[in-house]
Amino acid sequence: MVGLLNLGSLVLGLVAWILPIVNIVQVKNQNNRKWMTLSVLSISACAISLCFQIFYSYHLVQIEDWSALMDTAGAVAYVGAYLLIVTLLLNGVTLFIYHRRTAK
């Protein structure tokens, strides 16, 4: 059951990237008023994805699987930072596009 944390983290990480891309693709749609909701959902999916990884690391500590923890800690830190940075950049681009669009 704990292995599902990694799968859930992967799926939510992909959702965190797909939602702002959908926003950017739909920029030509004049009636797209859901862009802010999709951005909030994207950042929330990123946060939950990172939380799942923290819970998985905590599980490894509880069962005292130190070798697995030492093998994965570095990769989890880098991938988590990459997920967060890309998610924030994509949502920032979305915010910039829609802000520029409404300023006209």
pLDDT of residue 67: 97
Structure token pair of residue 37: 């909701």
pLDDT of residue 42: 97
pLDDT of residue 37: 92
For the chain, how many structural domains are there in total? 1
Write out the residue range of the structural domain in which residue 54 sits. 4-25+34-103
Which of 28, 55, 45 is closest to 87 using CA atoms?
A: 45
pLDDT of residue 28: 75
Structure token pair of residue 87: 């998610």
One-letter amino acid at 9 equals S
Structure token pair of residue 78: 């880098």
pTM of the predicted model as reported, rounded to 2 decimal places: 0.91
DSSP string for the chain: -TTHHHHHHHHHHHHHHHHHHHHHHGGG-TT---HHHHHHHHHHHHHHHHHHHHHHHHHHHHTT-HHHHHHHHHHHHHHHHHHHHHHHHHHHHHHHHHHHHHH-
Tell me the mean pLDDT per 10 residues along the chain, length 104: 93 97 83 85 98 96 96 95 98 91 74
pLDDT of residue 30: 64
pLDDT of residue 31: 67
